Amino acid sequence: MTRPFTSRTSPIAITMGDACGIGPEIIARLYRDALTHGCFVVGDVDVMRRAAACTGGMLAVARIDAPQSAFDVPNHCIAVLQAEALPDGLATLPVGRIDARAGAAAARCIEQAVSLALRSQVAAIVTAPIHKEALAAAGVGYPGHTEMLQALAASPGQSAPPVRMMLANDELRVVLVTIHQSLRQAIDAVTFDAVLETLRIARRAAAGWGMTAPRIAVAGLNPHAGEGGLFGDEELRIIAPAVAAARAEGIDASGPYAPDTVFMRARHAPGHPDEFDIVIAMTHDHGLIPVKYLGVEHGVNVTLGLPFVRTSPDHGTAFDKAGTGLADPSSMAAALAMARRLAQVVEG
């Protein structure tokens, strides 16, 4: 059977996500519709059987005992590595509701997948959506995947590696300086060091994808990038000096540009060649709205700076669709495809 990697045969781990959301269902639909050989789910066998049933038709679920066993499972059969120490009765929880047990299980699946990645037992991790309120209800002290993965990736006795969130599709790549915090807090978190570190992380990540000299545009924080200080001076005091420092290090960075137009300039589309390879955005919504507007079903979340490849769909748990079997797996398929591409670069 053909395996997806050339230099080292390593499986891809897919975390189950919140058992009460659409994560298990889009994974089941992914296994039904896509080439999933060499992939396995870190999750709960019974939850995945429930998800397979609700997506229509017969779809086999096989429990495996080790990551490498994923290659022994035929395509279109869901290989599940039963996560350790999960709460009981996950498959009986009502879908579409916040539940602390689902939050605890989602966190446990992530922890186990990261442990496998740090031991080089998987080539990449693809994470299904989690619910932040369910995590909080379970006492998990992280607001989202990015912060949790960062903490789990830290070596014993060492500080956590600096990471950044990137959302990407075929037309845009956007890396964020700040992520899951209030807008007021995010503005305070836009510092010279944070912007410069984001530029460094983006350049290193791009080099791993084979882009030796990525053209990086830096979006401003204020309207019209501050209009020379008339609408705010963060561009003058913080962002422009960080761009200059990055350029002094050999990074092809420019800006700050007006955030309401820079994404159009960076968009790669038929008849519209891009001016930039990556855009750095200061805040979560500044950066993610333009990517998601182009189609949530095509977007992929990538965590830059981790010692392993991690991708995710760019949507949430969609409790309103959970249990219907109708959730669109396109973004999950895109996340798996990108994980495969990045893992090939990392391994190859």
Query: What confidence tens digit (pLDDT) does each residue in 100-136 have?
Result: 999 999 999 999 999 999 999 999 999 999 999 999 9
Query: What is the mean pLDDT of the segment spanning 283-312?
Result: 90
pLDDT band at 269 (very low <50, low <70, confident <90, very high): confident
Closest to 20 in 3D by CA, of 134, 146, 112: 134
Say how many CA atoms lie within 13 Å of 347 toward its Cβ. 22
Q: What CATH number belongs to 170-294?
A: 3.40.718.10
DSSP H helices in the chain: 23-33, 45-54, 100-118, 132-137, 145-152, 183-189, 192-208, 234, 240-248, 262-266, 284-293, 330-347
CA–CA separation, 200 vs 335, rounded Å? 24
Q: Where are the domains of the chain?
A: 1-162+305-348, 170-294
Query: What is the mean pLDDT of the segment spanning 218-234?
Result: 95
- % of the chain with per-residue pLDDT over 90: 78
pLDDT of residue 297 exceeding 90, the answer is no
> How far is CA 297 from its chain centroid?
14
CA–CA separation, 312 vs 301, rounded Å? 5
* Residue 5: predicted pLDDT: 39
* Residue 276: predicted pLDDT: 97
pLDDT of residue 347 exceeding 80, the answer is no
Over the chain, what is the mean pLDDT? 92
| Tens of pLDDT, residues 236-266 | 999 999 999 999 999 999 999 999 999 999 9
Range 280-305 burial, b when 16+ CB lie within 10 A, else e:
bbbbbebbbebbbebebbbbbbbbbb
* Residue 348: predicted pLDDT: 47
Closest to 308 in 3D by CA, of 117, 112, 108, 68: 117
CB atoms within 10 A of CB 8: 12
| Tens of pLDDT, residues 126-185 | 999 999 999 999 999 998 898 999 999 998 888 889 999 999 988 999 999 998 889 999
Closest to 155 in 3D by CA, of 107, 206, 109, 119: 119
Which pTM was predicted?
0.89
DSSP H helices in 55-174: 100-118, 132-137, 145-152
The single-letter code of the amino acid at 323 is: G
Cβ distance 338 to 311 under 8 Å?
yes
Between helix 23-33 and helix 45-54 the angle, nearest 10°, is: 70
Cβ distance 243 to 218 under 8 Å?
yes
| Tens of pLDDT, residues 30-75 | 999 888 889 999 999 999 999 999 988 678 999 999 999 999 999 8
Do 1-162+305-348 and 170-294 fold alike per CATH? yes
| Tens of pLDDT, residues 277-286 | 999 999 999 9
Domain 1-162+305-348 has CATH 3.30.420.40: no
Tokens encoding 39: 């992939």
pLDDT band at 8 (very low <50, low <70, confident <90, very high): very low
